[in-house]
Amino acid sequence: MSPLFTPLALDGLQLANRIVVAPMCQYSAEDGCATDWHLMHLGQMAMSGAGLLILEATAVRPEGRISPHDLGLYSDANEAALARVIGAIRKYADLPLCVQLAHAGRKASSRAPWLGGALVPADEGGWQPLAPSPLAHGRDEPPPAELNETALREIREAFVAAAQRAARLGLDAIELHAAHGYLLHQFLSPLSNRRMDSYGGSLENRMRFPLEVFDAVRAVFPAGKPVGVRISASDWVGGGWDVAQSLEFATALEARGCAFIHVSSGGLSVEQKIPLAPGYQVAFAKQVRHRVNMPVIAVGLLTEPEQAEAIVANGEADLVALARGMLWNPRWPWHAAARLGGTVAAPPQYWRCEPREYKGVFGDTTTGQR
């Protein structure tokens, strides 16, 4: 059997294969509420045959949104809008759904990428970003406001409230976003965290707030449903967050019951120098996998089925995640199964499209007219 198409358990959640649809910001929400765009986008991703679908970065507070058009899970209206999307998906697809809970920190109040991504000023609908320290992300940006302990408690409580909403929605898993330069990553990195209190300075102190958020979310999300974390294994900047610190963070997370770790990199500093190439982050995932026992997800310019197969077969990671590749080819798992000899779930409405030379990719489809 193809290693990429073998099942895997994340805590009490069973995945049919090792392919993950990575979270992809769509910048198409209205006041944090999912729209028809999410219904169409997530609907086609749910038909992909992947083993797990992770919803885009979903803000736990309005000021934690990357842009004014980010998805949120901080209000009853947000919850109801997402319930409509999830209900439609559940009607036709049975793959597990995970939500990525996030707070953008100093990278909040920004324009969508296709509008340049610059900070949105207050007089144009923007707001004051918050961060561990008053250090701006961009060279010409004003500094964010430094979070005090009251604000930190409120953000922890917001993650908890969002996790409780996720549980009510019947979502199968939560991924906490501690990567790509957003708030939890900002606490981890010495480049963005210059605090002098118990949340800054040493590695132990810089990990404190992300670990507190994890503990708080794990405590309220149903037992057996996985809570994982996405990290940036490196800032790609000298003196910043690096693999050695990531390994310590991964070890601390595993000790607290973390169910999986999703290994990415970068996003914290405009000074980053990333050597982009196919699979450029897989070496990070491999190092983390050799340190911890929990499942590790590799991501980053993974485009070819054989490449993904080799990552799993060689023990570099337990799962592979695709984002841009899935946008380009929403049936990527189907085509990977055809090339690697695997099988995927497909809705019966599509069974008749199975090419003769790949008969069996959709499993046993002998029922119904062929």
Condensed to tens digits (0 to 9), the pLDDT of residues 346-370 reads 999 999 999 999 999 999 877 644 3
pLDDT of 44-63, one tens digit each?
999 999 999 999 999 999 99
Separation of alpha carbons 150 and 79, rounded Å: 26
Label the pairing between strands 296-299 and 319-322: parallel
Predicted pLDDT of residue 369: 43
What is the pLDDT at residue 46?
A: 97
Per-residue model confidence (pLDDT) at position 277: 85
Task: List pLDDT tens digits, range 282-309.
Answer: 999 999 999 999 999 999 989 999 999 9
What is the token pair recorded at 135?
């250090």
Name the average pLDDT for the chain: 96
pLDDT-derived band of residue 161, with 50, 70 and 90 as boundaries? Answer: very high
Q: Cα(335)–Cα(211) distance, rounded to whole angstroms?
A: 39
Q: Could you tell me the two tokens for 131? A: 């961060």
In a 10 Å sphere around its CB, with 0-12 CB exposed, 13-18 middle and 19+ buried, how is residue 352 labelled? exposed
Question: Does residue 186 sit in helix, strand or coil?
Answer: helix
367 located within any domain = no
Residues 6+ away with beta carbon under 8 Å from 272: 235, 236, 237, 266
Q: What is the DSSP letter of 147?
A: P
Count of H helices and E strands in the chain?
10, 12
Structure tokens at 310: 């080799």
The contacts of residue 259 (CB under 8 Å, 6+ apart) are 10, 11, 13, 173, 226, 227, 228, 294, 295
Q: What pLDDT is recorded for position 140?
A: 87
Q: Is 365 inside a domain boundary? A: no
Of 182, 280, 350, 358, catalytic:
182
Q: How far apart are CA 366 and CA 358, in angstroms?
A: 15
Cα separation, 141 vs 119, whole angstroms: 7
pLDDT at 218: 98
Tell me if 73 is assigned to some domain. yes
pLDDT at 232 over 60: yes
Looking up tokens 């999410």 gives: 38
Cα–Cα nearest to 304, from 281, 341, 275, 329: 329
Across the range 125-139, mean pLDDT stands at: 95
- Look up residue 3 and give its DSSP letter: G
Do the Cβ atoms of 104 and 60 come closer than 8 Å?
Answer: no
Q: Report the pLDDT averaged over residues 261-281.
A: 92
Report if residue 362 sits inside a domain. no
**Is 20 within the bounds of a domain?**
yes
Choose among 335, 324, 332: nearest CA to 300: 324
- Average pLDDT for residues 3-14, to the nearest whole number? 97
CA distance 268 to 208: 18
Q: Could you tell me if residue 355 is inside a domain? A: no
pLDDT at 364: 81
**Phi, psi angle pair for 53, to nearest 5°:** -115, 120
Total domains in the fold of the chain = 1
Decide if 258 is inside a domain.
Answer: yes
**Cα 274 from Cα 291, distance rounded (Å):** 24
CATH code of the domain covering residue 19 = 3.20.20.70
Give 144-155 pLDDT, tens digit per residue. Answer: 999 999 999 999
pLDDT at 276: 82
% of the chain exceeding 90 in pLDDT: 93
Contact between residue 295 and residue 10 where contact means Cβ atoms under 8 Å apart: yes
Q: The tokens 């080799």 sit on which residue?
A: 310
* Phi and psi at residue 11, to the nearest 5°: 55, -125
Q: Give the range of the structural domain holding residue 19, as residue numbers without chain letter.
A: 3-345
Six-digit token string for 206: 């810089």
Residue 311 to residues 78, 157, 298, 370, Cα–Cα distance (Å): 37, 38, 8, 36
Torsion, CA 267, CA 233, CA 304, CA 271, rounded to 10: 30
Sign of CA pseudo-dihedral 55, 137, 247, 158: negative
Q: Is 182 a catalytic residue?
A: yes
pLDDT at 275: 87
Could you tell me which residues are beta bridge partners of residue 322? 21
Residue 10 has phi, psi (to 5 degrees) of -110, 105
Domain membership flag for residue 58: yes
Distances (CA, A) of 238 to 91, 245, 352: 49, 13, 54
CA distance 122 to 114: 20
Q: Contact, 97 vs 171, CB < 8 A?
A: yes
83: CB partners within 8 A, 6+ apart = 169
